[in-house]
Structure 1
């Protein structure tokens, strides 16, 4: 199977963002019993242990990188693992999963601006239209289809922390364009998880305590495993694979699938009712993703003088 085909890349990006949507619910479970730093540390220790043997089997001796490349991998670990997850887990202690997922909509805007500035990527009107459609869908879901609810939404410290997390994720996406030129997505995320796990564990040491097995619920254990394997190991590899083949600004639009997935899992797991605004918002989100990533028509791609000759 050719994993460089666009339709396969889109499926992998969808799986990644769906997992991240579910991670809001899983994260809420985890921080209910664990300190945010302990939850983050546990997540990436396990993720690293899952990824390392896969990396060794797939790339062998090529897993060793030179010292001059470590700063780039460290940047990936610091932005996408350490800072993002400290803000993510701490933010979830003070805000709801759906409220936090609203802020994810700002991700494509941050990434588009950063990619146009740092990577000199072209951000077209069509792309911005896709971003706006997706954001409209997110707002529709979170506000329950009510303008009054949206206007009265007050952001708390948890919202601010998650906003900063999303900004760091945009930087992480930009870093991925540079690491993708030198390393495989698997190597990049394995190193990032390893570096992140070390830093997070050092920060979490004061908060670790000896826990009896019966003190930790099955939901919390499952949440950490899900966060480590599905929402970290697999999803990050899928995400970096997409960044390697597509413009960072285009990949970022898929972040708007996260709040839709968060809404769906909140309904299934937390027992919330499915309403019309979930369906309408979801439609807008996917329409936005499609608009930003669809190819231009063959006619519009041709220079103006060529179109005039053909029409004459």
Structure 2
């Protein structure tokens, strides 16, 4: 496979790897930086660094941007302000296991939204790959125990993360629908600014009315820098570019890699040991993604299938 064909998939792996780190960091500093403020500071860092880089492109494409202002606002509200903030909030009320478990349905949400809203064909190999990939993630999260899987209970935090997943699905659909209409840098910089200003009043409320505080330290500062640069600019650029090339349905399956990377980072930085179910689950997740993206001649699922 030529580099041009592999590039979208490499970008998707990079994005999910960086977002896997975002989950670990978001949980690690939950006691130092409150969630709404963490989300706001994340986008402040991203805007300060990225907006100057995109400014020339924005100025050269004012007319195209004006035509797509509704899409840009929705992207800012769903993918920038909504999804990330709700994930951070959800992690304050639910365990990381439950949050990751809810997040694994993201590819299914994107596939279904792509099918119904964009009329993208749904392939049998995509469904089979999706099932295989999610099975691997479930194996990791349940630690290979059916009792653990059955005993998982859903609380308000799980519901918050579920809403976040729905918002991410909508964000991905908007990107695909407007592919080619909005320049790449503009499609990220403008929603960043919108998301940042949307989160500002919520952060002020959290700090000055709710009375929550930021504990400034090297770990908290490093975490904010990471989520602002790598989990925001680099990951979002990679994701947006890949989605514009191969579509949200196929790209969404790669989101199953996030819990896999989260597990790897937990082992590397927290000192957990690698278990058999983590190895097997990782293989299943990767195999599912390979199946869903490798076979191009699979038959389409007819409309009557749903």
Same structural fold, with TM-score higher than 0.5 when normalized by the shorter chain: yes
Mapped to 1, the partners of 2:198 and 2:179 lie a distance apart of 23
Structure 2: give runs of 5+ residues left out of the alignment: 300-306
Offset, 1:184:
2.3
- Mark the CA change 1:26 to 1:42 in structure 2 (over 3 Å): closer, same or farther: same
Aligned residues of 1:134 and 1:256 also touching (Cα < 8 A): yes
- Give 1:288's aligned residue: 288
Mapped to 2, the partners of 1:135 and 1:109 lie a distance apart of 10
Mapped to 2, the partners of 1:205 and 1:33 lie a distance apart of 16
- Give 1:27's aligned residue: 26
- Normalised by the size of structure 1, how large is the TM-score? 0.89
Aligned residues of 2:32 and 2:214 also touching (Cα < 8 A): no
- Give 1:156's aligned residue: 155
Offset, 1:18:
0.6
1:251 counterpart = 2:255: no
Show the 5 A alignment for 1:75-154.
75-154=74-153
- Give 1:273's aligned residue: 273
- Give 1:260's aligned residue: 260
Aligned residues of 1:98 and 1:262 also touching (Cα < 8 A): no
- Give 2:73's aligned residue: 74
Offset, 1:63:
4.9
- Give 1:177's aligned residue: 176
Offset, 1:117:
0.7
Offset, 1:51:
1.3
Mapped to 1, the partners of 2:79 and 2:153 lie a distance apart of 27
Which segment is superposed worse, 157-166 or 249-258?
Answer: 157-166
Mapped to 1, the partners of 2:182 and 2:67 lie a distance apart of 13
Which segment is superposed worse, 85-94 or 235-244?
Answer: 85-94
Aligned residues of 1:131 and 1:292 also touching (Cα < 8 A): yes
Aligned residues of 2:78 and 2:171 also touching (Cα < 8 A): yes
- Give 1:230's aligned residue: 230
Aligned residues of 2:58 and 2:186 also touching (Cα < 8 A): no
- Give 1:64's aligned residue: 62
**Structure having the higher Rg:** 1
Mapped to 1, the partners of 2:159 and 2:138 lie a distance apart of 17
- Give 2:216's aligned residue: 216
Offset, 1:273:
1.5
- CA RMSD across the alignment: 2.1
Mapped to 2, the partners of 1:185 and 1:157 lie a distance apart of 36
Offset, 1:214:
10
Q: Deviations over 1:107-149 (max 9, x none)?
A: 0111111111110000111100010001101100000011111
- Give 2:304's aligned residue: none
Structure 1: give runs of 5+ residues left out of the alignment: 302-312
- Give 1:36's aligned residue: 35
